Amino acid sequence: MGLFNFLGAGTDINSGVSKYKADPQAVLLDVRTPPEYRSGHIEGSINIPLDKISTIDKKIKDKNTPLYVYCQSGARSRQAVSYLTQAGFVKAENIGGISRYKGKAMR
C-alpha cells in the first residue's frame, strides 16, 4: 500500500456520499474538530471528532448502522474506521476527505 492510499486519497468521498444518501439507515460521520466542522461540512453529517470517537455509542446504538466516515484528507477517517471496526461497528466505511468533495459544504 502506497502513501497515497494510506492517507485515504484513494477513496472517493463523492461516491461515498451518494451511497449514504441512498440508504435511509446510514449515518454520515465527520471526525474533524468542531471548528473545522463549523467552517464547512456535508449536509446531514454529524460531528464526532476523532479524539471523541469512543463516545459514538451515545449517538449510534445499533452497531449494524452503516457509517460513512470522512475528515479533511482521509487520514483521521481511516483511524476512526479502524476504531469503529474494533468496537464492533460492522458497516463503517472511510469515504475520504472533504477536500475532494464536489458538492456544496454547509456552514
pLDDT 10s digits, 18-58 = 999 999 999 999 999 999 999 999 999 999 999 999 999 99
| Domain boundaries along the sequence of the chain | 3-106
**Which architecture, in CATH terms, is 3-106?**
3-Layer(aba) Sandwich (3.40)
The CB-side HSE value for 30 (13 A sphere, CA atoms) comes to 23
Extended strands (E) in 1-107: 27-30, 41-42, 46-47, 67-71, 92-97, 105-106
Cβ-based neighbours of 102, under 8 Å, separated by 6 or more: 14
Range in 5-14, 18-27, 80-89 the model is least confident about: 5-14
Helices of type H across 41-96: 75-86
Where is pLDDT greater, at 9 or 57?
Answer: 57
* CB 56 within 8 Å of CB 82: no
